[in-house]
Structure 1
Amino acid sequence: MKSRWLPFEWIVALRFLREGRMQTLFIVAGIAIGVAVIVFMSALLNGLQSNFVRRVLTAQSQIQLLPPKEVARRLGAGSALEDAVVQAPLQRLKSIDQWQSVAAQVRAMPDVEVVAPTASGSALAIRGEASRAVSVNGIDPALYFLIVALPEKIVRGSTRLTPGDILIGTDLASDLGVGVGDKLRVSSASGGDQTLMVTGLFDLGSKPANQRTTFVALRTAQSLLGLVGGVSSLEVKVKDIYAADVIAQRITAATGVEADSWIATNAQFFTAVQAQKTSNTTIRFFVGLSVAFGIASVLVVSVVQKSREIGILRAMGISRGQVLRVFLLQGGLLGLLGSLGGAGMGLVALLLWQRYALNPDGTPLFPLAIEPGLFVASLLLATLTGLAAAFAPALRAAQLDPVVAIRG
């Protein structure tokens, strides 16, 4: 009864699909599998990429501002001087000039979220007769922890950092035989020497990093490293991590201070991320192409099978435009039905992945963000692909001569 209220093109399109049930079923199943592959692979690769980027950026800032390097220059002129070999001088630890004003200028930029000063340098951690070379990082916890998620890496103790505290890696703690609450003497080449209390142990996921990295309060590091009132770098967090390279160039142009983005310092990793994006796009393109050919082939066969019916309909007075719309509707409906089934299959596959693809400790391999936008995009893509694939068969059907079609 409801079909009486449907437009003529819809009635004919649905009837043609019902009459070729097996063809319709197979093409809908093929589309569903294609859409499920697109949904599953897109979510999987996006989750993998986000996990890699998160792991990289939990241990470093997105942009780092550094003082200019010292450069050796020739004095005078002459052939002897021109032939001389000029060696690069040793780089002394020094502060960014007028870093407070630079930090304020960078913080005022619309693309920047957080700017945190740090004072970093080498020192010696001593416990009794044992000693280890370490990297001392003086930070302002309130700002630095907004950039680097160090609290998530704490395995024992806390992130408390008063002027007399120090955070060290688990491997350094094991090497020196210290734990939370123990004292550790830290001595630097500049003559600074302090005894600090271990308030927390962290695990950065890398043994070399856990053996060398330490965190102290900013003022403590400035005193140890001879940078009284100064900082060795400014750590910057931006709104769009993939625009970090462009923002770093803007910062250098505006302040004159060297700015390195995480993209530049992790060039090989970023190249791998871009390659992963390209592979994801390639997979989606070829799956969509196979879906389009499947729909087109079925509709071409349908045009041949329904030639007599089309001729009769044309003789009864329906226009070429109506015939065209009948087959376009078939393509769109096939794409829509297949995409709905494929979205459901993809969702089930993602839920099963999260349920059964686990680390040895029972946690997920990496978090998967099931975004509604991905499913909506897949529905639109499959439906539009169906319409596009149906265009050539629909045009052929619309151009059939009624007399020739009826004679067969």
Structure 2
Amino acid sequence: MRLGYKIAKRFLKSNLGQTFFIILGIAIGVSVQIFIGSLIQGLQKSLIDKTIGNSPQITITSLTDDKRILDYDKMIADIKTVDSSIDKVSIASDNAAFLEYGSNSQSLLVRGFNIEDANKIYNFIDRLKEGTYPQKENEIILGIDLKDEYGMKLNDTVKITTPNQKIMNCKVVGFYDLNVASVNKSWAITTLETSQNMFDTNNSVTSIEIQVNSNSTFIADQIGVKISDKLNNSSIKVDNWKAQNAQLLSGLQGQSISSIMIQVFVLISVVLGIASVLAITVMQKSRQIGILKAMGIRNSTTSYIFLFEGLILGFFGAVLGIAFGLGLSFAFTKFAIGPDGAPVVALYISYPFIAGSGLIAIASSLLAAFIPAIRSSKLNPIDIIRNN
């Protein structure tokens, strides 16, 4: 085997130009794989973060006529024991109301939270543009779009009318921006106690909202089933983001499939290129191989020569390709930027994916060398020497 390795190195060094272009071809294939794969994964991660990164991934609502959930403390205690990937749990009391400010009026969704728990999901505090979060009774925060539309200011008082014609004056203590115009114009966020008192709902909520850790985002539906089985309550409904965002999920799956197809065809072209070049090398080196066999080298050793060639070419091609791929991905984030100067798609580096791409390139190169290796082992030294 060692002799086969030494001869393989000598063969590769004897035609450095050809060796360089084979390595370059492999490197380009690997770099395309890494760039396309990283781009698609970065795009998907960005879409997921923007869509559900700061929102619940599992939501429990009531199927009763009043849409209220009682005894939610016990439910939360049970939920936290279902799966270790359950990261954040929050409760919400949502009610439709009517907002009046000066001569302006509109419908509104009043959302009451335990602010500290809800902030872990929605990140309200970091998204406050002005003021602070509600801490006392009858304090609310509104969206920045509503502020701009009506010309509101901090500490202004707004009138909120409930469906039961109950009127409450609330103090605006802050303005948030959740980067969704419809939300910024329609949500009034307050404390759980304020919402319950405003709508006379006593100690009840309308939903329990759950977020799982980032590694479990795509199995939120399975975790939702576990939660449903654990609670075993026919008066509630357990929903998940995958069911609520079927079109987004379909788009992500389409992106993944197209990325895999591109990578497969690039890999096939690399394998065919290596196999054809090594097959030609067998013909070019047939005289040397014949002489070596006449000197007593076994057929297995001649096979090792080309297997080692494939391994060496694949290794250096993979290393160079990883460097090219990372460089291309980094350059893309610097040149493809949005109006705010941020990258259109953030740089996403998955070390397992990059290592996997390199190993696949090496394995493919080794596979491509099998046919030339078998062919070389079948060469008859007498025929070769006679014909040359």
When normalised by structure 2's length, the TM-score is: 0.93
Q: Which amino acid aligns with 2:259?
A: N
Compared CA separation, residues 166 and 15, structure 1 to 2 (3 A): same
Question: Higher mean Cα deviation, 159-168 or 115-124?
Answer: 159-168
Whole-Å separation in 2 of the counterparts to 1:44 and 1:401: 50
Whole-Å separation in 2 of the counterparts to 1:162 and 1:376: 53
Contact 1:116/1:144 (8 A) holds in 2: yes
Q: Does 1:275 align with 2:254?
A: yes
Q: Does 1:168 align with 2:142?
A: yes
Whole-Å separation in 2 of the counterparts to 1:159 and 1:398: 77
1:94-125 CA-partner distances (Å, limit 9, x unpaired): 31132221111111222312211100121111
Q: Does 1:376 align with 2:350?
A: no
Which residue number in structure 1 is paired with residue 104 of structure 2? 130
Contact 2:72/2:204 (8 A) holds in 1: yes
Whole-Å separation in 1 of the counterparts to 2:228 and 2:284: 68
Q: Which amino acid aligns with 2:327?
A: V
Task: Spell out the pairing of 1:9-408 with structure 2 (5 A cutoff).
Answer: 9-68=4-63, 70=65, 92=66, 94-110=67-83, 111-239=85-213, 240-255=216-231, 256=233, 257-408=236-387
Question: Higher mean Cα deviation, 227-236 or 168-177?
Answer: 168-177
Whole-Å separation in 2 of the counterparts to 1:58 and 1:152: 14
Deviation at 1:265, TM superposition (A): 0.5
Q: Which amino acid aligns with 2:22?
A: I
1:265-312 CA-partner distances (Å, limit 9, x unpaired): 111111111111111211211111111111111111111111111111
Contact 1:328/1:387 (8 A) holds in 2: yes
Secondary structure of 1:317's match? coil
Contact 2:70/2:203 (8 A) holds in 1: no
Deviation at 1:260, TM superposition (A): 0.5
Secondary structure of 1:178's match? coil
Deviation at 1:385, TM superposition (A): 0.8
Secondary structure of 2:122's match? coil
Whole-Å separation in 2 of the counterparts to 1:381 and 1:159: 52
Whole-Å separation in 2 of the counterparts to 1:377 and 1:139: 44
Aligned length: 381
Whole-Å separation in 2 of the counterparts to 1:279 and 1:338: 24
Compared CA separation, residues 223 and 388, structure 1 to 2 (3 A): same
Deviation at 1:63, TM superposition (A): 0.3
Q: Which amino acid aligns with 1:167?
A: I
Compared CA separation, residues 108 and 191, structure 1 to 2 (3 A): farther
Contact 1:296/1:390 (8 A) holds in 2: yes
Q: Which amino acid aligns with 1:15?
A: R
Whole-Å separation in 2 of the counterparts to 1:211 and 1:114: 26
Whole-Å separation in 1 of the counterparts to 2:53 and 2:319: 38
Compared CA separation, residues 211 and 292, structure 1 to 2 (3 A): same
Whole-Å separation in 2 of the counterparts to 1:175 and 1:122: 20
What do you get for the CA RMSD once the two structures are aligned?
A: 1.7
1:16-58 CA-partner distances (Å, limit 9, x unpaired): 1122323222211111111111111111111110000001114
Whole-Å separation in 2 of the counterparts to 1:323 and 1:264: 58
Whole-Å separation in 2 of the counterparts to 1:54 and 1:316: 66
Whole-Å separation in 2 of the counterparts to 1:383 and 1:151: 49
Secondary structure of 1:146's match? helix
Percent sequence identity over matched residues?
A: 31
Whole-Å separation in 2 of the counterparts to 1:159 and 1:135: 17
User: Tell me, which stretches of 5 or more residues in structure 1 are unaligned?
Assistant: 1-5, 71-91
Whole-Å separation in 1 of the counterparts to 2:32 and 2:179: 33
User: Tell me, which stretches of 5 or more residues in structure 2 are unaligned?
Assistant: none
Whole-Å separation in 1 of the counterparts to 2:56 and 2:166: 27
Q: Which amino acid aligns with 1:108?
A: T
Secondary structure of 2:133's match? coil
Contact 2:39/2:345 (8 A) holds in 1: no
Question: Higher mean Cα deviation, 152-161 or 35-44?
Answer: 152-161
Deviation at 1:130, TM superposition (A): 1.4
Compared CA separation, residues 45 and 191, structure 1 to 2 (3 A): same
Question: Higher mean Cα deviation, 360-369 or 277-286?
Answer: 360-369
Deviation at 1:375, TM superposition (A): 2.8
Contact 2:57/2:210 (8 A) holds in 1: yes
Which residue number in structure 2 is paired with residue 87 of structure 1? none
Contact 1:190/1:224 (8 A) holds in 2: no
1:135-155 CA-partner distances (Å, limit 9, x unpaired): 111111211111222334322
Contact 1:67/1:97 (8 A) holds in 2: no
Deviation at 1:189, TM superposition (A): 0.6
Q: Which amino acid aligns with 1:170?
A: I
Deviation at 1:160, TM superposition (A): 4.2
Deviation at 1:245, TM superposition (A): 0.8
Contact 1:307/1:406 (8 A) holds in 2: no
